[in-house]
Chain A
Amino acid sequence: MRPVRFRKDFPVQALIWSAVLVIGILLFCVPLVRGEESYTFDVAEIEKKPYSFGGYVEFRPVLNILDKDAALYQLQYYYKDPRSNLMEWNGRLQLEGSYEKGIGRVYVKTNTDLSYSSFADGDERSAFFEAYGTLKPSSAWKVEVGKKNLKWGKGYAWNPVNFFDRVKDPNDPDLSLEGNIMVTADYVRSFDGPLKTLAITPVLFPVYDHINDDFGINNRLNVAAKIYLLLFDTDLDFIYAADGSRTARYGMDFSRNLTTSFEMHGELAYIKDFQKPALDAGGIVRSTTEDAVSGLIGIRHLTTFDLTTILEYYHNGTGFSADDMENYFRFIRSGYQLYQTTGNDQKLRAAQKLATGGYGRAGPTEDYLYLRLSQKEPWDILYFTPALTVMVNLNDWSHSITPELLYTGITNLELRFRASFIRGSRDTEFGEKQNDYRFEFRVGYYF
């Protein structure tokens, strides 16, 4: 990674100062209304309607400072004129609605992403993120049919036991994701004594043409189940996913408050006969099949002065070794040289296919450390939360450091500014990412 020199006309300072200025104006200079001493609570505000509508709209400009020598830059932009920065203009619109009658409820959430960048023309993608019906014949039973997320696991940045959902981005773990079509049921019982709750969740997960067909082997009805226990004040889940579109998987997770301000959580996943296609040093794809074990252990701690620390160690048993990653980056580099000398991009296309097959996923290697520190309302500034996130690849010691400012003081408006510093030497995960720096400003409004 080479140091970047900012040109005079470079927009990075402009983006940073604009974001800081906007947050500053909203923090301190918004027209103020004097507090009234009488407060009202109109009962009409809480009148229940059978239907509800709502949504979220977001504007998110992103400035990427590119690393032209990085393998993933060459893979993504080999056919474009080289450049050192990339401005993205992103927009998102989410609409949600529900209708409830008796024991039934229907819920729909749509998502539209718009993006425009100086490298790619405008792009638009719309999808139903969730669309499902719920039947709740009693407080102990619930059946849901449709497109939804399961969100299994206790980890914040990663969830190795989340066998069915799309993999979340550890850089933004709270983002909503597109669900899958499935049938689930929940049966829950409460008890007195050390076992307070028992819940059983069977799952039917079909994979056919046009139904979850990107999940795995087609024409399979996948079966899974989760058992949840609240035992001795500890959340425990035991998970089984039978052999089907993917090989059989077993999982367990736990979460427990050791003290009022100290929580500990963990996940363990065992995957039978996991097939991993990896490039060897000669650029040949060799597939190995072996049982894989993935795990996560983490803590969440809150100090008396409202500093929240989340620390997680993640071992990805299905991940690539540092050597595998090095082979992949060299394969890209040789493909890029081939393209530059002959115009033949066959090798780069093969590398792109390998990216979708695993090399390009979030967290492709074996061992990671995640640290997030967030300080709530420092200096008595209500709704203001600065945070710092550090993610380290423990196999090659490349890393990203992301300071963040979040302000939610205006009803339904959320402002977030982030700067990511992506560090690592050649042939490492973060060192070969397309950008060295990333500055993002997000304005979100709920309605």
Chain B
Amino acid sequence: MKFALSVLLLLLMASPAFALDGTALLKQVDRNLNPESYEMYRKLINVEPDGRKKEFTLFSVKKGADKIAAVFLAPASEKGRSTLRLGDNMWLYIPNVGKPIRITSLQSVVGGVFNNADILNLDYAVEYDVARVEDAGNEHLLYLKAKTRSVAYDQIKMWVDKGKKLPTKIECLTEANLLIKTIYFKDHKDFGGGIVRPAVIETDSPLYKGYKSIMIYAKIKKRSFKDEVFTLTYMPNIESLR
């Protein structure tokens, strides 16, 4: 009887480890990656199989759960192009064209493996539910399922460092479980203001064999913005926020 009670007690004590709150963990990962409202600079590098590279520099601003905008600073051919995302709505403003046009999350304004959803990414917890969590040694493996059909990837597998509560690898999958791309998080860096996160994200895709794209982060900092910054009217002026 004593033995049975001891086993029951042990099981009860052990159960919290298995009942890890995946949603809370995902929200923690989101906050560790970025403050909810921020500004930051990114350099995107597309690398072709033969080693040729093309680089883009972006300035991005985000507010709350579903507002994000970015403007290209370089190269000269892309300078002044800006993108805006309000929830599921996305627009691209090209200075020559002079007016915002609607774009989709699966398109890519830069070419290469990163698409618009990767460049204008919202918090994962905004777009995905945690279907289940598995233990993977030093990492948690989160299985994420898109909340709506308008989300770029139907499923995501996210490996999260147990100590740092930051992702190390993400696999983006279709509804039929086909791998679209793999994203690797590298080079942890202290950006100041309590933001310690990977400074480099690398991605490759079976759809683009031999190609890879790299995103390097700089100057991430908390900043608050008025809602009016995230409007079509403001798109030609996003660079003035720098």
Contact = CB atoms under 8 A, between A and B. Distances in A.
B54 A139 contact: no
Contact of B89 (A136, A233, A376): A233
A199 B47 CA distance: 41
A167 B41 CA distance: 37
B195 interface: no
Contacts of A188: 228, 231, 233-234
B73 A32 contact: no
Contacts of B229: 139
Given A100-B240, A139-B228, A409 B150 contact: no
A369 B97 CA distance: 21
A43 B192 CA distance: 15
A23 to B, nearest CB: 15
Nearest to A385: B111
Interface in A376-425: 376-377, 380, 382-383, 408-409, 411-414
Nearest to B216: A41
A259 interface: yes
Given A35-B51, A46-B219, A380-B211, A190 B79 contact: no
Interface string B5-37: 000000000000000000000000000000000
Interface in B217-242: 217-219, 225-234, 237, 240, 242
Interface residues of B, number: 64
Given A45-B74, A154-B101, A260-B152, 11 more contacts: A32-B52, A33-B53, A46-B219, A48-B242, A100-B240, A190-B231, A256-B102, A260-B149, A265-B102, A414-B77, A446-B79
Given A100-B240, A260-B104, A411-B77, A380 B52 contact: no
A39 B216 contact: yes
Contact of B219 (A43, A261, A376): A43
A355 to B, nearest CB: 27
A175 B95 CA distance: 10
Nearest to A134: B237
24 contacts: A34-B51, A39-B43, A41-B43, A46-B219, A54-B76, A105-B240, A138-B226, A139-B234, A142-B233, A154-B101, A188-B234, A197-B231, A197-B232, A230-B232, A233-B88, A233-B89, A257-B104, A260-B152, A263-B102, A409-B54, A412-B77, A446-B75, A446-B77, A446-B79
Given A302-B106, A446-B76, A140 B228 contact: yes
A86 to B, nearest CB: 28
B97 A383 contact: no
Contacts of A176: 96, 98
A199 B86 contact: no
Contacts of B48: 382
Interface string B146-157: 000110100000
Interface residues of A, number: 68
A199 B208 CA distance: 41
A255 interface: yes
B119 interface: no
Contact of A46 (B59, B86, B102, B211): B59
Contacts of A175: 96
Nearest to B97: A174
B94 interface: yes
B106 A261 contact: yes
Interface of B: 41, 43, 45-48, 50-55, 57, 59, 73-77, 79, 86-89, 94, 96-99, 101-102, 104-108, 111-112, 149-150, 152, 200, 208-211, 214, 216-219, 225-234, 237, 240, 242
Given A257-B88, A263-B102, A186 B233 contact: yes
Given A41-B218, A151-B98, A46 B75 contact: no
Contacts of B226: 138-140, 190
Chain B CB within 10 A, most for which of A174, A175, A190: A190
Q: Which 3 A-B pairs have the closest CB atoms?
A: A190-B227, A151-B98, A35-B51
Contacts of B86: 196, 230
A189 B111 CA distance: 33
A275 interface: no
A380 B149 CA distance: 27
Nearest to A31: B52
B106 A260 contact: yes
A256 B90 CA distance: 10
Interface in A31-53: 32-35, 39-41, 43, 45-46, 48
A304 B22 CA distance: 31
B111 A377 contact: yes
Contacts of A446: 75-77, 79
Contacts of A48: 242
B11 to A, nearest CB: 46
A149 interface: yes
A30 interface: yes
A228 B233 contact: yes
A412 B54 CA distance: 10
Nearest to B218: A41
Contacts of B47: 35
A33 B51 contact: yes
A10 interface: no
Given A35-B51, A233-B88, A259 B234 contact: no
Contact of A382 (B57, B111, B232): B111
Contacts of B59: 46
